[in-house]
Structure 1
Amino acid sequence: MPTHLSGVRDRAAAPDDDQITEWALAAARGDATATEEFIAATRLHVWRFITRACGDAHSADDLTQETYLRALRSLPRFAARCHARTWLLSIARRVVVDRYRSNAARPRLADTADWQAAAERTQQTGLPGFDEGVALLDLLESLDRPRRESFILTQVKGLSYEEAASIAGCPIGTVRSRVNRARQNLTRLLESAESAA
């Protein structure tokens, strides 16, 4: 059969789906010539499908090769419930999807030598940062355990006084008192820290 310089068959001589399916079935039985015919008859279709699906002609060659590797491993299980070209393109689709998933899961590399400075430049300003968070934790640690627990449950976690009382195992009035005293202690500590600065 005549071929172009690229090795792709002339369109006028392209085999139909029934012939391609016959080659696939013969290839599944171990016929090496049928395997070559099957690949030659479908390669351009697979490559074009992958190129359109991934939008990257450079990756299409690798993904086409991966498609045929998977197809040849699966060929003994091919039962011809559909045309072989349809079956092969479904494998190609899975190969493209798997590549997208793999790329999405892979960490991206930054094209910068000073990654820490780049990360710091992307931080929003005006929000409490790490240092403020550490200072707040230190202030909370200065409270006694019952006051700290009541304050965190109601003011940080947003639980009601009733829910906090149930968790702490004490009356609601006790939780209110502890939260009030914790606020007073924290306010006093913040005022003394500001005056020292």
Structure 2
Amino acid sequence: MTPAPPPSRRQPGTDAKEASITAWALAARTGDPDAVDHFVRALHRDVRRYVTFLGADPQSADDLTQDTFLRALGSLHHFEGRSSARTWLLSIARRAVADSIRHDSARPRLAATDDWESAAERTQPRGLPGFDDGVALAELLATLPDERREAFVLTQLLGLPYAEAADVSECPIGTVRSRVARARTSLIEWLNDAERTVPVAAAA
């Protein structure tokens, strides 16, 4: 008996959209330029958001997004549609980010700061207007441990089911659920703290 699929945040019609994207990826294997264009356009925004929330700065995010698609298009002949094209592509994006981090860590640091406390403080939430503010959310996510941030972004922002997020992250589905729950708890706590401090600042 096939187990029931895990609950997801996908909206009605999303499964059909995912099937279309996967179909474009499969068609792109034959060199169909229209299929390649549809495939890239459909997932470009999500790939860029993913690498950005994994810690890439704007310039690096653009480079990593391009690198992801170059890798994907170069290995499309290996894609057989066993997973969704989105899951497959985000797995490639994750490897691109990891390779970039390894490459950067091997290079000598030309600029750095000894004032790590101040640097850390600059990443903390400050005067948050609300959870829907993209900048505020990015700052909050930056304070999460890498694994929790990735799980939250994959499932809550990009809308991947937990099973697919587990495939991308290469960990058990239970681990993804735990990371998301802990990330959500931390974000809610930080937001509540920020909301309590904003009226005080406004009254000063």
TM bracket (short chain): 0.3 to 0.5
Provide TM-score, normalisation by structure 2: 0.46
Larger Rg: 1
Provide TM-score, normalisation by structure 1: 0.48
Ranked by relative contact order (alpha carbons within 8 Å, sequence separation 6 or more), the top structure is 2
